[in-house]
Amino acid sequence: MLTHTTIATPDGPFTVVEDDGAVVAAGWSDSADAVAARAGRSGSVEGECASASAVRGYYEGGAEALARVPLDLRGTVFRQRVWDALTTIPPGETRTYGSIATALGSPGASRAVGGACGANPIALFIPCHRVGGASGALTGFAWGVDIKRSLLARERGL
């Protein structure tokens, strides 16, 4: 059964959706239906998710709390590889779409990396906010570039 919790954060309401204790969707919205839909899921009920404490911990300065949360990510093999690579980027640091593609052995796949970031259904836990364009610009983020900027500033201040 899907359960969701919405947490008040400095960046706005953040909703986490879990299935059997594993995060399946997360994002800055107070609509559990909208957040769950990004993961192709629906029908969650409100309740306390175990991962909510990790989100609170992140916003209190403990970015490492997110790494200990079980995730249930579904996507293509390539997207899974991209999402795994994103979890290795240290808090406050950034990488480019191209550098991620190169690290995965597919140097011409920067747009595909961007697509995987855009399709990431588990924002914050899979830190696509740490990836930007080749110029170093903070490019697209499903939840808004202002939130991306805020997350990076918070992480750099840790």
How many C-beta atoms lie closer than 10 Å to residue 124's C-beta? 27
CA torsion angle for 37, 39, 40, 45 (degrees, to 10)?
Answer: -60
How many C-beta atoms lie closer than 10 Å to residue 10's C-beta? 10
128 flagged as catalytic: yes
Q: What is the DSSP string of 21-66?
A: TEEEEEES-S-HHHHHHTTT----EE---TTHHHHHHHHTT-GGGG
CA torsion angle for 58, 128, 122, 145 (degrees, to 10)?
Answer: 80
Report the distance separating Cα 2 and Cα 105, nearest Å. 36
Catalytic: which of 128, 131, 147, 151?
128
Which residue numbers are catalytic? 128
